[in-house]
Amino acid sequence: MSVMGTRVVRIEDHKLITSGGSYVDDLREPELTGAVHAMFVRSPIAHARIGSIDVSAAREAPGVVGVFTADDLDIAFAPGPTGEPWLARDRVRYVGEPVALVLTEHPYQLADVAELVDIDYDPLDAVIDLDDALSGRTLLFDGTDSNVAGGKAKPFDEKLFDDCEVVVTRTITNQRVAPAPLEVRGAACAWGEDGRLTMWLSTQNAQIARDILAGGLGVDPGTVRVIAPDVGGGFGAKIGADPEAVVLGWASRRVGRPVRWFETRSENLTAMTHGRGQRHTVTIGGRRDGTVLAYRLEVVQDAGAYPRAGAGMLPGFTRLMAPGVYRIPRVEVATRSVLTNTTPIAAYRGAGRPEATAAIERAMDLFAAEIGMDPAEVRRINFIRPEEFPYTTPSGASYDTGEYAKALDAVLSAGGYAELRAEQARRREAGDVVVLGLGIAAYVEITAGDGMGESGRVDVNPDGTVTAYTGSSPHGQGLHTSLAMLLSDQFGVPMDKITIRHGDTDEVPKAVGTFASRSLQLGGSVLKQAGDQVIERAKEIAANLLEASPDDVELNVDQGAWQVRGAPSGGTVTWAQVAAAAGEDGLSADVWYGDVQPTFPFGAHLAVVEVDTLTGKAVLRRIIAVDDAGPVVNPVTFQGQRHGGLAQGVAQALLEEMSYDADGNPTTATLADYPFITATELPDFELVDMATPTTRNPLGVKGIGEAATIGSTPAVQNAVVDALAHLGVRHIEMPATPQRVWQAINDAREGR
Amino acid sequence: MKVTIEVNGRSTVEEVEDRTLLVHYLRDTLGLTATNVGCDTTSCGACTVLLDGESVKSCTVLAAQADGHRVTTVEGLTGEGGELHPVQRAFSNQHGLQCGFCTPGMIMASVSILAENPKPTRQEVREALEGNLCRCTGYHNIVSAVMEASGQEVDG
Amino acid sequence: MIPVGFSYRRASTVDEAVGLLGEYGDEGKLLAGGHSLLPLMKLRLAAPEVLVDIAPLADLRYVRTDGDTVAIGALSRYHDLHHDEVLRQHAPLLAHVAGAIGDPQVRHRGTIGGSLAHADAAADLPAALLASDGVLVAQGPGGRREIPAGEFFLDPFTTALQPDELLVEIRVPGQDGVGWAFEKFTRRSIDWAIVGVAVLGQSVGLINMAGTPIRATRVEEALAGGANPAEAAELAAEGTSPPDEPHASAAYRQHLARVLTGRALERAAGRVPAGL
Ligand SMILES: Cc1cc2nc3c(=O)[nH]c(=O)nc-3n(C[C@H](O)[C@H](O)[C@H](O)COP(=O)(O)OP(=O)(O)OC[C@H]3O[C@@H](n4cnc5c(N)ncnc54)[C@H](O)[C@@H]3O)c2cc1C
Ligand code: FES
Ligand code: FES
């Protein structure tokens, strides 16, 4: 019987629940013996010229092995006018930017020494506000004439909304949030006697990290080995390698000793990239019968101080996915990215798609409110219909498959939408202080939208066990279990005879890794192809052993053995026998899967909130979700991904925001101040299953890593607004803090 | 200073700097690296261990304060023969962990919760886990794991 | 993450603790549960040279009745207080508040004496003690003295304790049969109060509405003058000066103080006296 689609407890768990993972700070590898400890001295000021740096006192302190600044670095500086230095030179552009590196014998000495590094800052005006940044009044980079790092303001088509009976427009902030994986960033590295650098790095992509390191250090990629040990969450913020990693590799070479680094949470919240950070101006128009005719989205992306992924990739995905699940005849999108004196922005679970969804889903509700129609009904009227797929949107996306109306109807029926609306009306009528809000979001997103390939290799060992090497780089997703299930199914080998390996660039030299919910669809598809090749080869060997024609032998997956078709009594050969007979090169296939086609998971969420109209506090009571990513390999981890996504999405709607004051000082720089969502702010999740396969990969699967985050944020935000609709509230910015909600109620009462 | 701390049933005697935090005593002095550090403000609970049987955040206890006391970490939960503690087993069964970084702290917090309230409701479990952050699971399955470990219906 | 270096001393008697405080003067700091002091030290916002650990003073961990008074040892931990049968019966407001602080791990460590001595206007127990008309017992080189709660909290993080004094006991009049309520307004359950209100009978303590914990005197006067809870609660923000922060402005907190005071008074009035 096939294990596919059955509940399989993760093979990853045992170690994690008994002796804990091997995260980078846990490593006790012999190569790291005698390692020195590293800490970065970071800018406490958002924007300043660096006057002088005096490291003399620090260099004298007990236990110091080295104190280095940009002047010490003899590696090339990032090119281009807005290039990001390894360590700040002359100028700092955000609080948290690394300025110096301290190395000590004992980790407890680091902070003592870092305090002694005396840096003289000459403050400049901090550019925090987006309009201020766009105005170019203060420029972040000399030699540029604008802070705009990508895109441009283009004139919109004046006639876009000409035939619309109703047009609504609104500016909405999709706030900056901190990815905050529970494990902060860390690395450990050592140069071997062979002149090679080995770096253990908490990363989602060892191979990309290797290339960044080699490029930064000016060495051949072959001289760098990156190993991703267990990684305590990434959520997009651990893609590749950050500048710190390059400096650590350099420092290890400079002092001739292994180096270890594990940042503090306060550093992490200011110096690891943030996510989201877009301002949207949405305009939506249509007819009073509910038909949407035109949609315009203007995006201003806060890129932070240096253009990383935030500058191009994020708004690019927002543009592509702007029309969401609707067939809107006319869609216009313009995006601009602008630099500010804040932490650089990059990917965070969803990376550009949650922003697109939040914009269109808020716009749909604004439109529905304006024409006085139920938001579910407006959505139904405008959904792309199942028979229209593949569907190319005006923004250029080619959606594979979808059942958008079915997904919405499924959550509404599971949630008891009609009863909930009745309860809402009852409370309103009774004048209850605590009112009920229902929020809907329907979404489609793009996964594996990167266009890069993935690698996979399958070896059948002479003892009949299977070892697979994947280019994916899981860090909590349970991919080892899913891949082992796939191979077990394909080979008929029990799961405990299958080992999955990943994350060592010496074992898997060419790979891309994990982001964009790509791992199962690409990492899984390529292993399937490698498996198919192995089976082809095995068939010939087995035929030889069975003295039959290859056409007549078959793999009996129930027994994991080869036999002559239709003649099971004629004897079998085991995988071990086949592998042993495979000769010198063994039984192995190594495949690069380059034909990457993105897929488009979709779903619908219904959120139920209660809002205390006197205090403004909104509490999420229920969230009912369909997240359709095609066939499910392991429901255990599939649901786990949805749960995690839901929580992070809810967090953005209700709680989390990375904030700065007007001078660019972060005001949420510790976990005491940053309102990371906890178990008490979340209800039990209500998941409704749907599985619509894609035609675009051999497994039929789409990505599930980010989907639920994308749907839940606007569902919850819409619910909070809906709760107060009867008071005249039309919009509340995220996060819907009690004060904001209270303010919105006051404003509505006063007709503002 | 010299401290004597019983860790997972074994007496440990070590010379440490006075400012040594218990979590670093466990991780660095003793090499018990399951217990993790996730913050610097006593907020995340990744460092939770049992001190004299009660959950504490070992990043906010000095090794000196634990001198003469008993500490249990997740490494000490597994039985001699490798049999899992019911809470460990339930975390795996219910998929109460993903990246695993919060897990040792979550498990120890859960052991303490059940010692104080053997038959909690799901809502009580949520409230008792307020000091333990998890970025991956959305907590749903962690709550289920504690329910399973309590011998109750998971859906409560 | 790592505090500045210090030396650690352990006191095994109250006298020894007082002696060590005298010896180290400004450089020394008492360490009880450590859940205010160590977090500050880890962020290097405090850097005492000597810590005098008083947690081992087990004889300062108790709850007992003394006639109509409930006496609580200063080193009693929140968790123990929350579950203490004597306290739940005779001072349920305090037992309840002790269970509303921080998270279980914090409650396993934090002490009532530490919370009061730390004197954070955002903390829960100080306002509850004010509403309870509590008395703090301090011991110094000259022996013991009693300080009424109303005279204890002088300024933010500043109390009437002398540098060489130790808080040894907290006394409150028995609360048997008196209605009480506690309203703590937070975004997440782990958070400190944005605003909090502790009500015992007609006494009202406010959390985070000034630089110190305060009593809502105008509300109490109005109640004494016969106002109903709703009317009295309207006065809850009179004379307050709460923090003004982006996520919670002073005006919003004042609004919350009125709403929460109204709710607490209603609940206290309706609460079956005694018991949680
Ligand atoms: C994550 C977290 C969340 C928290 N949430 C809350 C909350 O919601 N509400 C709340 O009220 N508090 C909260 N706290 C603070 C907690 O209540 C502290 O434990 C308490 O404030 C201090 O008590 P302690 O015994 O730990 O004191 P310590 O930290 O040991 O000492 C605090 C101060 O008091 C002095 N001191 C201690 N004992 C005595 C004594 N007997 N005599 C004289 N001086 C003494 C010390 O020298 C020090 O200056 C939280 C703490 C944390 C870490
Ligand atoms: S490390 Fe976060 S609470 Fe201890
Ligand atoms: S499993 Fe990753 S933080 Fe909890």
Is C243 a pocket residue for ligand 1 (Cβ < 6 Å)?
Answer: no
Is B154 a pocket residue for ligand 2 (Cβ < 6 Å)?
Answer: no
**Is 80 exceeded by the pLDDT of residue A169?**
yes
Give the fold, CATH level 3, of B2-76: Ubiquitin-like (UB roll) (3.10.20)
CB atoms within 10 A of CB C13: 12
Determine contact, residues A399/A389, Cβ cutoff 8 Å. Answer: yes
In chain C, residues 36-55 whose CB comes closer than 8 Å to chain B: 38-39, 42-43, 51, 53, 55
Burial A300-316, CB ≥16 within 10 A → b, else e: bbbbbbbbbbbbbbbbb
The pLDDT assigned to A79 comes to 65
What's the gap in Å between the CA of C147 and the closest CA on chain A?
32
The burial of B146, by beta-carbon neighbours within 10 Å (0-12 exposed, 13-18 middle, 19 or more buried), is given as buried
Give dist(CA C133, CA A600) in Å, integer: 64
Q: Report how far apart, in Å, the C-alpha atoms of A300 and of each of A134, A172, A404, B91, B153 are.
A: 9, 11, 29, 43, 49
DSSP for A343-362, written as a single string: PPB---TTTTHHHHHHHHHH
**Is 70 exceeded by the pLDDT of residue A331?**
yes
Q: In what order do the strands lie in the sheet with C203-207?
A: C180-185, C195-200, C203-207, C214-215
The pLDDT assigned to A311 comes to 80
The pLDDT assigned to C274 comes to 40
Q: What is the C-alpha end-to-end distance of chain A, expressed in Å?
A: 64
**Are C188 and A678 within 8 A, CB to CB?**
yes
Query: pLDDT band at residue A2, thresholds of 50, 70 and 90?
Result: confident
Give dist(CA A582, CA A568) in Å, integer: 23
Torsion angle in degrees (nearest 10) through CA of A629, A631, A635, A641? -20
What's the gap in Å between the CA of C38 and the closest CA on chain B?
6
Mutate to test the interface with B, among A7, A8, A13 (most CBs of B within 10 A): A13
Q: Which residues in chain A touch residue B42, judged by CB atoms under 8 angstroms apart?
A: 672
Q: In what order do the strands lie in the sheet with A48-54?
A: A91-92, A48-54, A118-123
Q: Domain spanning A454-593: which CATH class is it, in words?
A: alpha beta
Between the CA of B102 and the centroid of ligand 2 the distance, in Å, is 10
Determine contact, residues A715/A439, Cβ cutoff 8 Å. Answer: yes
**pLDDT tens digit sequence for A500-524:** 999 999 999 999 998 888 988 889 9
Q: Which residues in chain B touch residue A23, judged by CB atoms under 8 angstroms apart?
A: 36, 101
Token readout for A40 is 């970065």
Tell me, rounded to whole angstroms, the distance of Cα B130 from its chain centroid. 14
Between the CA of B136 and the centroid of ligand 3 the distance, in Å, is 4
Between the CA of B32 and the centroid of ligand 3 the distance, in Å, is 19
Determine contact, residues A176/A273, Cβ cutoff 8 Å. Answer: no
Name the residue facing B17 among A12, A108, A231 (closest C-beta).
Answer: A108
Pocket test for ligand 2, best of B59, B133, B134 (most atoms within 8 A of CB): B59
Give dist(CA A436, CA B68) in Å, integer: 54
Q: Which helix (H) or strand (E) holds A728?
A: none
Name the residue facing B19 among C5, C10, C34 (closest C-beta).
Answer: C5
Q: Which residues in chain C touch residue B127, judged by CB atoms under 8 angstroms apart?
A: 189
In chain B, residues 112-151 whose CB comes closer than 8 Å to chain A: 122, 125-127, 129-130, 132-143
Determine contact, residues A312/A320, Cβ cutoff 8 Å. Answer: no
pTM: 0.97
Give the fold, CATH level 3, of A275-447+598-749: Aldehyde Oxidoreductase; domain 4 (3.30.365)
Per DSSP, chain A holds a count of helices (H) and strands (E) of 18, 28
Which parts of chain C have pLDDT scores under 50?
A: 272-276
Pocket test for ligand 3, best of B103, B139, B140 (most atoms within 8 A of CB): B103
* C128: amino acid identity, one letter: A
**Residues in A lying within 8 Å of C, measured between beta carbons:** 107-108, 110-112, 115, 264-266, 614-615, 617, 655, 659, 661, 667, 670, 672, 675, 677-678, 680-681, 737-739, 742-743
Determine contact, residues C87/C73, Cβ cutoff 8 Å. Answer: no
* A598: amino acid identity, one letter: P
Chain region(s) in chain A for CATH 3.30.365.10? 275-447+598-749, 454-593
Determine contact, residues C60/C168, Cβ cutoff 8 Å. Answer: yes
Contacts 24+ apart (CB under 8 A), A373-379: A373/A290, A375/A440, A375/A718, A375/A722, A376/A408, A376/A412, A376/A417, A376/A440, A377/A290, A378/A290, A378/A292, A379/A325, A379/A326, A379/A408, A379/A440, A379/A442
Q: Domain spanning B86-149: which CATH class is it, in words?
A: mainly alpha
Query: pLDDT band at residue A77, thresholds of 50, 70 and 90?
Result: confident
* A286: amino acid identity, one letter: G
Give dist(CA A703, CA A479) in Å, integer: 12
Region B73-102: mean pLDDT is 96
Give ipTM to 2 decimals.
0.98
In chain B, residues 97-156 whose CB comes closer than 8 Å to chain C: 109, 112-113, 116, 127-128, 130-132
Pocket test for ligand 2, best of B24, B39, B103 (most atoms within 8 A of CB): B39
Burial A554-575, CB ≥16 within 10 A → b, else e: ebeeeebbbbbeeeeeeebbbb
Between the CA of C105 and the centroid of ligand 2 the distance, in Å, is 11
Region B33-50: mean pLDDT is 98
Which of A718, A724, A717, A716 has the alpha carbon at shortest distance from A742? Answer: A724
The pLDDT assigned to A566 comes to 79
Give dist(CA A284, CA A293) in Å, integer: 8
**Are C31 and B65 within 8 A, CB to CB?**
yes
The pLDDT assigned to C162 comes to 95
Q: Report how far apart, in Å, the C-alpha atoms of A313 and of each of A149, A273, A281, A310, A338 are.
A: 12, 14, 19, 6, 13
Name the residue facing C35 among B21, B42, B45 (closest C-beta).
Answer: B42
Q: Domain spanning C59-173: which CATH class is it, in words?
A: alpha beta
Pocket test for ligand 3, best of B129, B137, B140, B142 (most atoms within 8 A of CB): B137
Torsion angle in degrees (nearest 10) through CA of A190, A191, A196, A201? 20
Question: Across chain A, what does the average pLDDT equal?
Answer: 95
Q: Which residues in chain B touch residue C53, judged by CB atoms under 8 angstroms apart?
A: 64-65
Which are the contacts of C6, defined by CB distance < 8 A and separation ≥ 6?
Answer: B18, B19, C41, C47, C48, C49, C50, C51
The pLDDT assigned to C276 comes to 43
Give dist(CA C147, CA C126) in Å, integer: 13
**pLDDT tens digit sequence for A146-163:** 999 998 877 888 899 999
Extended beta strands in A353-447, E state: 391-392, 398-399, 434-444
With contact defined as 3+ CB pairs under 8 Å, the chains touching B are A, C
Phi first, then psi, for residue A723 (nearest 5°) are -60, -30
Ligand at minimal distance from the CA of B133 is 3
Region A10-20: mean pLDDT is 95
**pLDDT tens digit sequence for A214-258:** 999 999 999 999 999 999 999 999 999 999 999 999 999 999 999
* C98: amino acid identity, one letter: A
Q: Which residues in chain A touch residue C4, judged by CB atoms under 8 angstroms apart?
A: 112
Any idea where the domains of chain C sit in the sequence?
A: 7-53, 59-173, 180-268
Burial C97-109, CB ≥16 within 10 A → b, else e: bbbbbbbbbbbbb
Q: Which residue has the tokens 């019987």?
A: A1
CB atoms within 10 A of CB A492: 16
Q: What is the C-alpha end-to-end distance of chain C, expressed in Å?
A: 38
Using DSSP's 3-state secondary structure scheme, residue A18 falls into: helix
Ligand at minimal distance from the CA of B39 is 2
Tell me the percentage of chain A whose pLDDT exceeds 90: 91
Between the CA of A434 and the centroid of ligand 2 the distance, in Å, is 35
Region A416-420: mean pLDDT is 98
In chain B, residues 14-33 whose CB comes closer than 8 Å to chain A: 17, 19-20, 24, 27-28, 31, 33
Of A79-93, A604-618, C262-276, which range is least confident? C262-276
* A546: amino acid identity, one letter: L
Region A437-453: mean pLDDT is 94
C275: left (phi over 0), alpha (psi -120 to 50) or beta: left
Pick the CATH number of C7-53 from 3.90.800.10, 3.30.43.10, 3.50.50.60, 3.40.50.300: 3.30.43.10
Q: Please confirm whether the linkage preceding A390 is cis (ω < 30° from 0).
A: yes
Is B62 a pocket residue for ligand 2 (Cβ < 6 Å)?
Answer: no
Q: Which atom of ligand 3 is nearest to the CA of A181?
A: 3
Instruction: Identify the CATH number of the domain defined by range C180-268.
Output: 3.30.390.50
Name the residue facing B112 among C51, C55, C104 (closest C-beta).
Answer: C104
Alpha helices in A256-336 (DSSP H): 265-271, 309-320
**Are C2 and A681 within 8 A, CB to CB?**
no
Alpha helices in A461-524 (DSSP H): 479-491
Region A706-728: mean pLDDT is 97
The pLDDT assigned to A76 comes to 81
Region A23-33: mean pLDDT is 97
Determine contact, residues B92/B109, Cβ cutoff 8 Å. Answer: no
